Amino acid sequence: MITYEQFYENHQRVLERVLAACARAERDPATVKVLPVTKTHPIDAALYAGRAGYTAVGENRVQEAVDKMTTDAGVQWELIGHLQSNKAKLAAEKFHRVQSVDSAKLAKKLATAASEQGRVLPILLQVNAGDDPAKFGLGCEETPAVLELVLGLESLQVDGLMTIAPLSDDPDVARKCFERLRDLRDQLEARFGVNLPELSMGMSGDLEAAVASGSTMLRVGSAFFGAR
Ligand SMILES: *Cc1c(COP(=O)(O)O)cnc(C)c1O
């Protein structure tokens, strides 16, 4: 694990990249949040993030995150990895938000669990906007029907959409994926008359393209904490 000083330097470098990307896109930097992704790293990663002023971190496995939550790092925990239905109850209980809702079945399971726990669970719908066979996520065509279902579930609050761009050396691949997610969001807002403010897209390697395409939340792992 890197030291806090190393983390803080990385954090400053990420900030500089985000500020430069916002300047190029003529966007207010206050509209772009950064979510440090602490998966595979010890609890220190979440402690560093909290100490540097981040209010939430991202994890992609339920059990790994739940184990870390036994330490109070002063941050909220967001689930960004694929969630199996049999872990929906635990996830609804432990996470501040689930960004990886990728099926109607999972949405219903989370809604039932949140309702039993007497809470409203914030979620994002994960969309496979890059049509990548290696990625989870709803197809763009099926997203309207799942959104309609979710809007009818009182114990879920849908904040927006999330995507992971296909791995590629060609920066246009990520940019197209992100623009497609943004366009889908705009269409869904118009069709259902709702606000879907959060566009969670962009990681260490493609955050510039994500900012240019309207991202409101960059999920950054390796640029903060080093290679996994
Ligand atoms: C691991 C992960 C990230 C962070 O990726 P980096 O390339 O390390 O920045 C972002 N989003 C999801 C869904 C991830 O699983």
* Residue 55 C-beta-side C-alpha neighbours within 13 Å: 4
Residue 131 pLDDT greater than 90, yes or no? yes
Per-residue DSSP letters for 15-34? HHHHHHHHHHHT--GGG-EE
Decide if 129 is inside a domain: no
Q: CATH no. for residue 58?
A: 3.20.20.10
Measured in angstroms, how far is the CA atom of residue 37 from the centroid of ligand 1?
6
Average pLDDT for the chain: 98
Domain count, the chain: 1
The domain of 107 spans 4-124+146-158+200-225
**Residue 130 and residue 176: Cα distance in Å, rounded?**
8
Q: Best substitution site from 10, 13, 80, 128 to test ligand 1's pocket, by max atoms within 8 Å of Cβ?
A: 80
The predicted pLDDT at position 161 comes to: 99
Across the range 163-188, mean pLDDT stands at 96
Nearest CA to ligand 1 atom 1: 221
Q: Average the pLDDT over 202-207 and give the result.
A: 97
Q: Is residue 221 part of a domain?
A: yes
Question: What number is the average pLDDT over the span 60-71?
Answer: 98
Q: What residue ranges line ligand 1, CB within 6 angstroms? A: 37, 39, 60, 80-81, 164, 203-205, 219-223
Residue 164 in contact with residue 181, Cβ under 8 Å?
no
Measure the CA–CA gap between 182 and 174, rounded to whole angstroms: 12
| Nearest residue by C-alpha to atom 7 in ligand 1 | 204
Distance in angstroms (rounded) separating the CA atoms of residues 17 and 1: 23
pLDDT at 129 over 90: yes
Contact predicate 152/192, CB 8 Å: no
Task: Starting at the earlier edge strand, list the strands of the sheet with 56-59.
Answer: 33-36, 217-220, 198-200, 156-162, 121-126, 97-101, 76-79, 56-59
On whether residue 54 sits in a domain, the answer given is yes
Whether 87 is in a domain gets the answer yes
For 86-108, the pLDDT digits (tens) are 999 999 999 999 999 999 999 99
Residues 139-149: what's their mean pLDDT?
98
Question: What per-residue confidence (pLDDT) applies to 171?
Answer: 87
Residue 181 lies inside a defined structural domain of this protein: no
Ligand 1 centroid–CA 139 distance in Å is 20
User: Which atom from ligand 1 is nearest to the alpha carbon of 99?
Assistant: 13
What does the pLDDT read at residue 123? 99
Report yes or no on 130 lying in a domain: no
* Mean pLDDT of all residues in 102-116: 98
**pLDDT classification of 155: cutoffs 50, 70, 90:** very high
Q: What is the mean pLDDT of residues 42-67?
A: 98
Instruction: Tell me the mean pLDDT in the region 46-53.
Output: 98
Tokens representing 127 are: 């969309």
Percentage of the chain lying above the pLDDT 90 cut: 99
Q: Does 58 map to a domain?
A: yes
Residue range 179-183: mean pLDDT, rounded? 98
Nearest CA-CA partner of 195 in 162, 161, 160: 160
